[in-house]
Amino acid sequence: MPEVKFKRYCKTLTVKDDPKLIKEYTEAHSMGKAWPEITQGMKDIGITDMEIYIFSNRLFMVMETIPDFDHDSAFAKLANMPRQSEWEASMAKFQNSSADASADDKWQLMERIYKMDQKHELPAIEGQFVFR
């Protein structure tokens, strides 16, 4: 089997369907606006890259991680990182969730249903391996 380069996870979340709140949420995630402790916390648990896309009030996240990333234990650790609960509480006003919900509670893992020339398949919680 080829060497695993990284794992990719895709997640979704719905924000409140309010154009003013969506604009504020988008601005909070614009370049340089996310709190540095949040970005560092994600890197510290093994997330190597993340992108979030929006369509109307639906968000789609692509998250890439180190090859041996364990989703559940990493997100349990993330919940206790500096300022993480404060960030989640500040984002809750935009989201259909409570202020004390963790990132893992809010963002739902998506199952991949198609990949061109797919040869391997894993449950969403395992991530999808990207081979060299």
In this predicted model, what pLDDT tens digit does every residue of 71-83 receive, in sequence order?
999 999 999 999 9
Q: What is the CATH number of the domain that holds 68?
A: 3.30.70.100
| Number of C-beta neighbours around residue 100 at 10 A | 10
**79 Cβ contact list (under 8 Å, min separation 6):** 85, 102, 103, 104
| Euclidean distance between CA atoms 64 and 76, whole angstroms | 17
Calculated CA dihedral for residues 103, 108, 113, 115, nearest 10 degrees: -10
pLDDT of residue 132 exceeding 60, the answer is: no
In a domain, 1, yes or no: no
| Residue range of the domain that includes 99 | 7-131
pTM for the model: 0.87
pLDDT of residue 31 exceeding 60, the answer is: yes
- What domain count does the chain have? 1
